[in-house]
Amino acid sequence: MNWGQLILNYFSQANSMAILLMLLICGILYLIIRLHFDQNSNFDLEDLVSTDGKVDEKKFTRFGAWLLSSWGFVYIMVKHPDSLPEWYFLGYMGVWVTNAILDNKLNKKMPDSHDEPR
């Protein structure tokens, strides 16, 4: 077999999806890091896990859980593109949509401790 044939054989459906995923992740990371260091942007990576410069346990845990469940979702899509379990998709969407709605409701009901007069 020649090199050209070996290269063409490498690009199966699963390998192509993995390569595209890697390129997409690298592109997104590049944009996020570029925004973080841009002086004209108010995007700050620390805001994902901290509040006022201190690590916020709720934000840190939520971000970690989101990363882990998203990676699981992507892993299933890459390894088994024809058989995505419906329960995983529904569970993934249900958890994050419910989490956002509940957090929004709780934040409206409970005043922020930073807003209280001293």
How far are the Cα atoms of 21, 33, 45, 54, 57 from residue 48, in angstroms, in the given order? 23, 13, 6, 11, 11
Residue-wise pLDDT for 15-61, tens only, equals 777 788 788 889 999 998 999 899 998 888 888 888 888 888 888 88
Q: What tokens does 117 get?
A: 């007069």
Residue-wise pLDDT for 83-117, tens only, equals 777 787 788 888 888 877 887 888 777 665 555 55
Q: Which residues pair with 51 in a beta bridge?
A: 54
Separation of alpha carbons 89 and 92, rounded Å = 5
- Which residue would you say has higher pLDDT here, 75 or 31? 31
Separation of alpha carbons 81 and 13, rounded Å = 9
76 and 88 in contact (C-beta within 8 Å)?
yes
pTM for the structure as a whole: 0.59
Separation of alpha carbons 32 and 49, rounded Å = 15
